[in-house]
Amino acid sequence: MKIFEACADSLLGHGVDVMFGLMGDANMLYVANYRERGGQFVAVVHESSAVAMADSWSRSTGRVGVATVTHGPGLSNTMTSLMEAVRSRSQVLLLTGDTPAEPTHFQRMDISSFAQAAGAGYDKVHRRETLGRDLNRAFQRVVAERRPVVLNIPVDLMLEDAGDQAPVSPAVHSSPSVPAINDLDAALGLVASAKRPIVLAGYGAVLSRADEALLALAETLAAPVATSVLAKDMFRGHPSNLGICGSLSHSVAAAAIAESDLIIAFGASLNVYTTFHGELLADKHVVQVDIDPGRFGWYLPASEYIAGDAAVVADSIREALDAIDHTPSHPGWLQSVQQHLVDYRPEAEYKDHTAVDTVDVRTACLRLDDVLPSDRTMVSDIGRFTNAVWPRIEVPDARRFTTMGGFGAIGLGLAGAIGAAIARPDELTIAVVGDGGFMMHLAELTTAVRLQLPLLVLVFNDNAYGAEHTKLQRYGADPDHSLNMWPEFGPIAEAIGAGSMSVRKIEELDELRHITHDLRGPYVVDIKLDPEVDILA
Ligand SMILES: Cc1ncc(C[n+]2csc(CCOP(=O)(O)OP(=O)(O)O)c2C)c(N)n1
Ligand SMILES: [Mg+2]
């Protein structure tokens, strides 16, 4: 067996049944072998998408996503999506390799420095004998360090004899630690004496599957529940659900958060969006619970910190409260918040700006939430449109939403949605993108066509870099510099082999009820918006 065969062998042994990538000298032999032996190789148009797909696939499945690219430019094309995976703490293994041992090779590049610049881990297969061991270790590091690892398998090794290799040893998740009860003492004092506490879930709570533990704690405390954007819809449908906490809160949630005297945050970084630049936490106590103490106080100092898994800590706090027969001091507060939530009407929160040939993005989102099938996964690009979409289009649970915005890059949403659609082929995946982000990696739509994925691409098309439109206006500069001159998206989508419609009237969205019923291939919805309508104003 040659090294390239041993490489495919090990990947299949690690249960890698799908791998994302683009071929070149450094990887083509093991990619071909992997395919011949039954592995699904998702060939992408641009290497950035390979990592974004592996990342999103991993977020959807909870497994390690694997991407493979060739040396030099193949790898340098992944920088943005690799940084996204790093910032989102995704479990991604990126395989690449050194150019031949020839200093004048024009594609040479320092892979270790590249990985370091991205914040990813780095390993190299130095000798042919250690390939199996090194792949085992790379998988283990991805899981243990919860960050991408770049593994360098030099191209010069590929045709060498593999000899005896270490057997596959699957990566193991360590179990979350239970905090010692005295770790909780100071925080318990704050929790037990709070009059109007709120339980806040972040992405760490999603990873911990802490839904029930947090709701049980909230019930003990008579506390409303809220989430960061990354835990969106974790408590969907619950009578105490405030929805997103922060700059995207609706009026009832904003009022409740302002009134509260304690936020107990589970696996939430408390970033500028969740805390509205800290304003929402001013004059109240904050208990920050995180499995990684390195995140304590990263954005803002909290009153108390508890290191531990979200579900485990929530259970421990609740049991400690039960042990002292804790009863909420102000149960009436929750009741009044719940009543306000019953009375809340999302359409009454804003003045509709639907015009003759454009729709109001907020009204469009409310309608989409209604007409799209309830079993759906949503993957978001970033841009101004997200302010309208995230609070209004819901998903059945927090594991069905993700945003490729951890590094703040536009353009990764479409590939992310393709990765999620491959992970969940039996239900609808929705890509939500702006016109700018859509155009950045439009070519990747061909991958979704080839795979016939049930993918609905909602393009919120204000014909502008809308985020910049708003900002230029606020600087007193001419916002027209942010306007785009794209061709019509419908004919482009159809030329590629996708379905399409354009939407200038709200009622036209109702067509999607039928269109999404049994979707067999991507469908692009070009939703025409007026760039002048600034929903943040
Ligand atoms: C890779 C990258 N380039 C540029 C930016 C700057 N940027 C942030 S939001 C944005 C506008 C995106 O436009 P669009 O996708 O149409 O969404 P909109 O803001 O119009 O809703 C831009 C250009 C970025 N964040 N990432
Ligand atoms: Mg735009």
Nearest to 403 by CA among 423, 429, 432: 432
Whether residue 383 has its Cβ less than 6 Å from ligand 1: yes
Q: How far is the CA of 232 from the centre of ligand 1 (A)?
A: 22
pLDDT at position 519: 94
Is 6 a residue whose pLDDT tops 80? yes
The full 3-state SS of 468-518, as one line of letters, equals: HHHHHHHHCCCHHHHECCCCCHHHHHHHHCCEEEEECCHHHHHHHHHHCCC
With cut-offs at 50, 70 and 90, classify the pLDDT of residue 183. Answer: confident
Atom of ligand 1 nearest to the CA of 437: 15
Per DSSP, helices labelled H in 198-309 are 203-207, 211-221, 251-259
Token pair in block for residue 167 = 């057997």
For the segment 258-286, the average pLDDT, to the nearest whole number, is: 94
Q: Give the C-alpha separation, 96 to 78, whole Å.
A: 11
Q: Is the pLDDT of residue 145 over 90?
A: yes
pLDDT for res 535: 83
The answer to whether the beta carbons of residues 78 and 120 sit under 8 Å apart is no
What confidence score (pLDDT) does residue 42 get?
A: 98
pLDDT reading at 537 higher than 70? no
What percentage of the chain reaches a pLDDT higher than 90?
Answer: 93
Residue from 46, 362, 465, 484 whose mutation best tests the ligand 1 pocket (most atoms within 8 A of CB):
465
Instruction: Place 536 in a pLDDT band, splitting at 50, 70 and 90.
Output: confident
Alpha carbon distances (Å) from 206 to 184, 319, 517: 22, 21, 29
pLDDT at residue 173, rounded to an integer: 77
Cβ–ligand 1 distance for 154 under 6 Å, the answer no
Chain segment 49-90, per-residue pLDDT in tens: 999 999 999 999 999 999 999 999 999 999 999 999 999 999
Provide the mean pLDDT of the chain: 96
Give the largest CA-CA distance in the chain. Answer: 75
Q: How far is CA 464 from CA 362, 391, 530, in A?
A: 17, 22, 9
pLDDT category at 430 given cuts 50, 70, 90 is very high
Write down the pLDDT at residue 176: 66
| 449: its two tokens | 């066509």
Q: Which amino acid is at 107?
A: Q
Radius of gyration of the CA atoms of the chain, in A: 24
User: If you average pLDDT over residues 292-310, what whole number do you get?
Assistant: 92
Task: Answer whether residue 105 shows pLDDT above 70.
Answer: yes
Which ligand 1 atom sits nearest the alpha carbon of residue 385?
Answer: 21
pLDDT at 182 over 80: no
Q: How would you classify residue 270: left for phi > 0, otherwise alpha for psi between -120 and 50, otherwise beta? A: left
**pLDDT, average across residues 235-255:** 97
Q: What share of the chain is helix, strand, coil (3-state, %, to 5)?
A: 45, 15, 40
